[in-house]
A and B are shown apart, each in its own frame.
Chain A
Amino acid sequence: MDQMLTCTFPTGFWRPLPTARRLPLPLFLGKVAAGFPSPADDYIQKTLDLNELLVQKPAATYFVRAQGESMLGASIHPNDILVVDRSLEPAAGKIVICALNGELTVKRLARENGRWQLKADNPAYADITLHEALELVIWGVVTTVIHAV
């Protein structure tokens, strides 16, 4: 049976705190059987959590689903899930979600000859050069593509 033993701190070394501090220590994670314990028990580590890898700022992170093929060059395929972090500053070269003609749209932000551009990563789609009159809202910055194979 897996078991956790609770140990109370020894109190001889320092003045005990007014409230007893208890620290749960995993002593055995393997089965306690007669015979040899698992040689891996010395290497207990936490399990891997994808959130830790993909989500830096949970309050600002949204998952969205890609529709269409204009970003194939950036390895974004139809039906892929994109991780979007709204806390990041959009910068040239970043893939962003922008509100374009009332639709959330995926583009690569670029700066050429002093002008901001929204580029598709697929030669079949035209680039959009931003001019003063066009007010653009950047909704968030894409950090990861989740693609099932």
Chain B
Amino acid sequence: MQPLIALVDCNSFYVSCECVFRPDLWEKPVGVLSNNDGCFVARNKALKSLGVKMGVPLFQVADLVKKHDVQLFSSNYPLYADMSSRVMSLLETFSPRTEIYSIDEAFLDVTGICQPDSIGYGLSIKHSIQKNTGIPVCVGLGPTKTLAKLANFAAKKWPQTGGVLDLSDPVRRDKLMRLVPAGEVWGIGSRTAAKLNQIGINTVWDLAIQPVEPIQKQFNIVVARTLMELNGIPCLKLEEIAPDKQQIVCSRSFSRRLTEFSEVSEALAEYCSRAAEKLRYQHSVTGCITIFIRTSPFNPKEPQYQRAASIKLASATQDTRAIIATASRMLKEIFKAGYGYQKCGVQLSHIQPESSPGQLELFEFADTGLPAENRPLMKAVDQINRRFPKAISVAATGFDKTWKAKAERISPRYTTDWRELVGVKCG
């Protein structure tokens, strides 16, 4: 039996999450801004049709935003994460094999489940997600992941598909491929697309009819695989279990330039806490901590400085206090007064499962001055913070926090905080 993969992708996911609780915005142009309220990271259809592109800085389109009364939101990640887990848990009821590909899309292996009426099955997925969560989705189907992606792209672009499209049929596939530029194919980046255009490959169809070997020689194995996948030959497997992250990075821009060591140190400590939480969430320990600080590269008039530091730990840890202590020791080394810092961050690497036996450090206190690893304590902190967000933090993260990134237009955490539930009118 021919394999059949479905890609389910939420439409304008962040905006859709906001709109579930705001019927007054259903017909309006709505956008969600990146961290620090800088650039557009999500736009609904009405906003796209005004010509606002992905990643555009807000200040560049300020007039248009005012003129068309565009509704803006700061990123509300607690809300998006909760809505995503609702969507994903529903999708798992439609196939025993699913791969959560990102916060708003998943591949489902539906081989043998929905043939011959694949469109009917796709529609029932679409209907179920919309009805149960309020999030609209499109469903693309095909014998390979790349074709499922392409089908999804087309289902989103052409409303006459009804939001569901199956590209199993080679005739229909050919027709569509002639209409879509090669750069829209999953796995073909903009640079590869430009190179393809130079040798006369413009549409997906132009690419699909190429012989594999010369393409692999001229480009690489990734492009060659993509080409095979476009012809219905599966090369990419469904990855059901997300591999644990091998690196955890936590970095943000500040709301304003920071000049004091104490402020930068507090910000860094907070990012360390977040990174340590993520580390414990995936039951891992880190063996290497890297930090960096920098001034703004966008202001050439200011004096520029950037520096990173890295240290390999004698024994791997997941303890927030140990990570903060190590990071702030490095910060003392690289911090220079007299600069206006715009960003700092921490990266944890050499990550291993917490159950793997690490090297025992015999003289922990004498050697490093760090507190001994206390897993039960960290577990208790995580549990409390899950119930009462931000209830417990390490004192080094400070109290002032005016350096925090701007999130002036943030919506309530409708689904994760009892104090912020959506109000419903009895009137």
The yes or no verdict on A and B being binding partners is yes
Interface set of A (CB-CB < 8 Å, partner B): 57-60, 62-71, 76, 78, 81-82, 86-87, 97, 99-100, 102-106, 120, 125, 137, 139
- Other 17 A-B pairs with CB < 8 A, given A67-B423, A68-B425, A87-B132: A59-B90, A59-B132, A60-B90, A63-B415, A63-B418, A64-B421, A68-B426, A70-B426, A81-B418, A102-B23, A103-B24, A104-B424, A105-B424, A106-B425, A120-B426, A137-B23, A139-B134
> How far apart sit A105 and B87, CA to CA, in the bound complex (Å)?
24
Tally of A-B Cβ pairs under 8 angstroms = 84
Would A71 and B423 be within 8 Å (CB), given that A59-B86, A59-B89 are in contact? no
- B131's closest neighbor in chain A, by CB? A86
Q: Are B132 and A105 in contact (CB under 8 A)?
A: no
- B134's closest neighbor in chain A, by CB? A86
The interface size bin for chain B is: 20 to 34
> How far apart sit A86 and B423, CA to CA, in the bound complex (Å)?
16
Q: Mark B396-418, 1 if CB is under 8 A from A, else 0.
A: 00000000000000000011001
8 tightest A-B CB contacts, nearest first: A102-B24, A68-B426, A99-B23, A60-B132, A68-B427, A59-B86, A70-B426, A65-B421
21 residue pairs of the A-B complex, CB under 8 angstroms, read A60-B86, A60-B90, A62-B422, A64-B424, A65-B423, A67-B424, A67-B425, A67-B426, A76-B426, A82-B424, A86-B133, A99-B23, A99-B26, A102-B24, A103-B23, A103-B24, A105-B424, A106-B424, A106-B426, A120-B426, A120-B427
- Cβ contact of A57, chosen from B132, B415, B418, B422, cutoff 8 A: B132
> How far apart sit A99 and B23, CA to CA, in the bound complex (Å)?
6
> How far apart sit A103 and B24, CA to CA, in the bound complex (Å)?
6
Q: Are A81 and B421 in contact (CB under 8 A)?
A: yes
> How far apart sit A97 and B426, CA to CA, in the bound complex (Å)?
10
Interface set of B (CB-CB < 8 Å, partner A): 21, 23-24, 26, 86-87, 89-90, 131-134, 414-415, 418, 421-427
Q: Are B21 and A104 in contact (CB under 8 A)?
A: yes
**Which A residues lie within 8 Å of B23 (CB)?**
99, 102-104, 137, 139
> How far apart sit A100 and B133, CA to CA, in the bound complex (Å)?
19
Chain B's nearest CB lies how many Å from the CB of A3? Answer: 17
Chain B's nearest CB lies how many Å from the CB of A134? Answer: 14
**Which A residues lie within 8 Å of B24 (CB)?**
102-103
- A71's closest neighbor in chain B, by CB? B426
> How far apart sit A100 and B24, CA to CA, in the bound complex (Å)?
9
- A105's closest neighbor in chain B, by CB? B425
- Cβ contact of B423, chosen from A64, A69, A100, A139, cutoff 8 A: A64
> How far apart sit A106 and B425, CA to CA, in the bound complex (Å)?
6
- B91's closest neighbor in chain A, by CB? A59
Q: Are A125 and B132 in contact (CB under 8 A)?
A: no
